[in-house]
Chains A and B, each alone.
Chain A
Amino acid sequence: MTGKVPADAPARRAEVLARIAAALVDRPASSAVPRDYQHRLPDHVDVLDLFAERVADYRSTVHRTDAAGLAATVAAAIADRGIRRLVVPGGIPEGWLAACPAERIGDDPPLSVEELDGIDGTITGCAVAIAETGTFVLDAGSGQGRRVLSLLPDRLICVVTADQVVGTVPEALARLEPARPQTWVSGPSATSDIELERIEGVHGPRILDVVLVDRPG
């Protein structure tokens, strides 16, 4: 269903475009955009260390592990956060949840918002992560699912693998597909609206665990 387009729509469009053209009669000169800002981190920077440090700066919890320790780390995070019912989006590798102590709830058929609102936590993968800013990006791909899954439950566990971590924002954008809906997450929901005092957690998940899976050896 699509909203009706008002009858004078073409005229309004034409008028705005005509006004813009008239405002630009002086034909401002064109010049190239200088792009000599930083595109990559210097080689000596360990992006995994930096990512872990920057995520922790946002007062989220970072757990570092390797492939062998992943299932136990995830299970401990689920237990520590008291998650009894866990949303598991389609495509989460079975190995992540080999020791999962919580009841798993899938999203096929899609959960209603009321159902989701009543669930304790969600586990998700991500599309890419950015060391410099401590950000992970969800793009609704495999192992992540619909945007709402990482929004309504109050506890979020995100598993980031070493190959997903890039150094900078430019590198991250180059890896992402614009057409996919994206949520860039940098720490838990926050506000400073009351006397500028930072409070973690307003509407999004208030408790954020990031599990970083290092390269073997």
Chain B
Amino acid sequence: MTVPAEPVPPIHATTRRPLPTFRGTPPFPEAARTALADPQLRANLRRATTTIRDKRSRVVAEREDWEQLRLAGAAIKDEVLRDLPALLERLERAVVAAGGVVHWARDAADANAIVIEVARAHGTTEVVKVKSMTTQEIELNEALAIEGIDVWETDLAEMIVQLGHDLPSHILVPAIHRNRTEIRDIFRDEMGKVGRPAPADLTDDPKQLAEAARRHLREKFLRARVAVSGGNFAVAETGTIAVVESEGNGRMCLTLPDVLITVLGIEKLVPTWRDLEVFLQLLPRSATAERMNPYTSMWTGVTPGDGPQEFHLVLLDNGRTDVLSDQVGRQALRCIRCSACLNVCPVYERTGGRAYGSPYPGPIGAILTPQLRGIAHHPVDKQTASLPFASSLCGACFDACPVRIDIPEVLVHLRAQVVEHAARSHRIPTPEAGSMAAAGWVLQTARRLGRAERLASLGGRVVGRRGAIGRLPAPGWAGAWLRRRDLRTPARESFRAWWRRTGGRDDAR
């Protein structure tokens, strides 16, 4: 490898760069190799991405004005970026006028310190949390744990990930790498350690699993005094924050506790109330492929007698201003985190999210993570530098993106920056050669492994996942990452094999 393994001092940037979030993830090709060797993960991902992709095409085709909505969405977000200082100050005034408190965080450390301080001021030892990529980015859970504050993830998938001591693999369906039997086992073994236990006769029927989650979490919701959320949109004009969700755990967190803390990236603004008309149409169709998601909550500061009586809004930079400083790369800040680009990406479909080494996987992760880590201004670590190569530049992501982010254009631009940094430090050959055509390799390897699996199954045996991983070289620097993965209970069979055997009947093992 030709890129320095450690971040080097910044050239232009004013503060220390955020560290990689999933520490110890190896560069994309190596991380992808592990994912590719996991037949269940690949089968689940394929099923997930195909299902969402097909549904999405249908609900998008229903709208003849889809392209007009995309153009409007992109233009509104460009306006936000252009007028960001004025809009942020306007948002701040509106939130304060409505009884909220606004905090500004330069980086993850600032944001975590603010959340900890608010939690401490209320003497709480636990917070409930709505799924939020921003709080994953700043590693809030870890920061709170150090302070002795328990964080309860309340989104079903995030809870599965948290109880399973695991990492998420997809923006919208973070537990897509787990099948129902694994989830049942996790609930049975882990729920009782942190609260209301799962019923002893719990089967792997998804309905029963959801019911167990409902009961387990209800106890926490009713007790919690402090909640932490992210936000999908913040209206500068009115100070209104919007959270879009499906399960109702968001409503619980946003309504029941006394205190609400929302951590929001500074790019999440829209200028006016009316602008929501564009995004509330683009987001649900692009994300969960629905005309509208089950619940959208909107609130403005504090409403006397209804919901939290204390509201804190934390406005987070954490590298976003570095993204903003790059004239080509800044379009990544239009992103509304819908995950449509993941589901159409041939590379992502085969590797899953964890190979990307950040909470932002897939095509958006490949352009956002390197920029958040300051690639516009200084060399980045080798894992980050490998991300712009994790694409075949097929362009499907641009076509799917509801805010028209030209992801291939940014990828090519970032590749040039990686090469330039390497050349400046007189390291040859170029990273492209070393980091290889990561995407092409992934696609080829997936085909080869698929064939091998089918052959093995002909002998009547299911390929053991651990066996497959065991044959792969695990270089020392990948150790930490692989160890984290090894915490997972190996599934005895792939989802596909399980399905073939049981026809999906409950509780068949």
Measured in the bound complex, the distance between the Cα atoms of B324 and A9 in whole Å is: 23
| Of B47, B51, B299, the contact of A181 (CB 8 Å cutoff) | B299
Q: Once the chains bind, are B207 and A33 in contact (CB under 8 Å)?
A: no
On whether the beta carbons of B180 and A20 are closer than 8 Å, the reply is: no
B306, A173: Cβ atoms closer than 8 Å? no
Task: Kindly name the residue among A12, A30, A181, A199 whose own CB sees the greatest number of chain B CB atoms within 10 A.
Answer: A181
Contact B85 A183 (CB under 8 A): no
**Does B246 lie within 8 Å of A189, measured CB to CB?**
yes
Q: How many A-B residue pairs have CB under 8 A?
A: 256
The answer on a CB contact under 8 Å between B294 and A196 is no
- Which of A36, A178, A190 counts the most chain B CB atoms within 10 A? A178
Contact B266 A16 (CB under 8 A): yes
Given contacts A12-B105, A193-B160, is CB(A186)–CB(B299) below 8 Å?
Answer: no
Residues of chain B within 8 A of A182, CB atoms compared:
296-299
CB distance from A33 to the nearest CB of B (A): 4
Produce 1/0 per residue, A1-43, CB < 8 A to B.
Answer: 1111110010011011101111110101011111111100000
Tell me, yes or no, whether A164 is within 8 Å of chain B by CB.
Answer: no
Name A's interface SS. loop
The reply to whether B117 and A6 form a contact with Cβ atoms under 8 Å apart is yes
Stretch of B192-200, B272-280, B356-364, B456-464 lying at the A interface: B272-280
Asked if A37 and B251 sit within 8 Å, CB to CB, the answer is: no
Q: Is B455 an interface residue (CB 8 A)?
A: no
**Interchain CA distance A17-B290 in the complex, whole Å:** 37
The interface size of chain A toward B, counting residues with CB under 8 Å, comes to: 76
Whether B306 and A3, one on each chain, are in contact in the complex, defined by CB atoms closer than 8 angstroms, is no
Interface string of B211-233 (1 = CB under 8 A from A): 00110011001100000000000
Contact string against B for A residues 156-187, beta-carbon threshold 8 Å, 1 for contact and 0 otherwise: 00000000000001100110001111111111
Q: How far is the CB of A16 from chain B (nearest CB, A)?
A: 5
Choice from B75, B255, B266 contacting A31 with Cβ under 8 Å: B75
Contact A193-B321, Cβ < 8 Å, known A36-B68, A37-B278: no
Task: Choose, from B76-84, B412-420, B469-477, the stretch at the interface.
Answer: B76-84
Which of B171-179, B388-396, B424-432, B434-442 lies at the interface with chain A? B171-179
Are B105 and A178 in contact (CB-based, < 8 A)? no
Q: How far is the CB of A66 from chain B (nearest CB, A)?
A: 27
CA of A95 to CA of B495 in the docked complex: distance in angstroms?
54
Query: Chain A: which residue is nearest B235 at the CB level?
Result: A178
CB-based nearest B residue for A117: B222
A4 near B117 with CB under 8 A, answer: yes
The reply to whether B277 and A170 contact each other, CB–CB distance below 8 Å, is yes
State A101–B36 Cα separation when bound (angstroms): 59
| Complex interface: chain B residues within 8 A of A186 (CB) | 290-295
Selected from B238, B280, B321, the residue in CB contact (under 8 A) with A16 is B321
Cα distance A48–B276 in the bound complex, in angstroms:
24
Please encode chain B, from 46 to 90, with 1 for each CB lying within 8 Å of some chain A CB and 0 for all others: 011001100000000001110011011001101101101100110
Assess whether B481 is interfacial by the CB under 8 Å rule. no
- Distance from A209 Cβ to chain B, minimum over Cβ atoms (Å): 15
CA distance A17 to B89 in the complex (A): 9
CB distance from A174 to the nearest CB of B (A): 8
Chain A residues contacting B489 (CB-CB under 8 Å) are none
B181-216 with Cβ < 8 A to chain A: 183, 206-207, 209-210, 213-214
Please give, as numbers and ranges, the residues of chain A lying within 8 Å of B126 by CB-CB distance. none
Given A146-B305, A199-B210, answer yes or no on A178-B300 (Cβ-Cβ < 8 Å).
yes
- Are B207 and A199 in contact, CB atoms less than 8 angstroms apart? yes
A207 to B72, CA, bound (A): 36
Alpha-carbon distance between A120 and B8 when the two chains are bound, in angstroms = 60
Q: How far is the CB of B105 from chain A (nearest CB, A)?
A: 7
Q: Which residues of the other chain, B, contact A179 by a CB distance below 8 angstroms?
A: 98, 238, 240, 300
Contacts of B487 in A (CB 8 A): none
Q: Chain B contacts of A68 at CB under 8 A?
A: none
Binding site for A on B (CB under 8 A): 14, 44, 47-48, 51-52, 63-65, 68-69, 71-72, 75-76, 78-79, 81-82, 84-85, 88-89, 98, 101, 103-106, 110, 113-114, 117-118, 121-122, 154-157, 160, 173-176, 179-180, 183, 206-207, 209-210, 213-214, 217-218, 221-222, 235, 237-238, 240, 246-249, 251-252, 255-256, 259, 266, 273-274, 276-278, 280-281, 284, 288, 290-300, 303, 305-307, 310, 312, 315, 317, 321-322, 324-325, 327, 330, 495
A residues within 8 Å of B by Cβ?
Answer: 1-6, 9, 12-13, 15-17, 19-24, 26, 28, 30-38, 54, 57-58, 110, 113-114, 117, 130, 132-135, 140, 146-148, 151, 169-170, 173-174, 178-197, 199, 201-205
Cβ contacts A to B, 12 pairs, < 8 Å: A4-B117, A6-B113, A19-B321, A20-B324, A21-B85, A28-B82, A30-B79, A34-B72, A147-B255, A194-B209, A199-B210, A201-B214
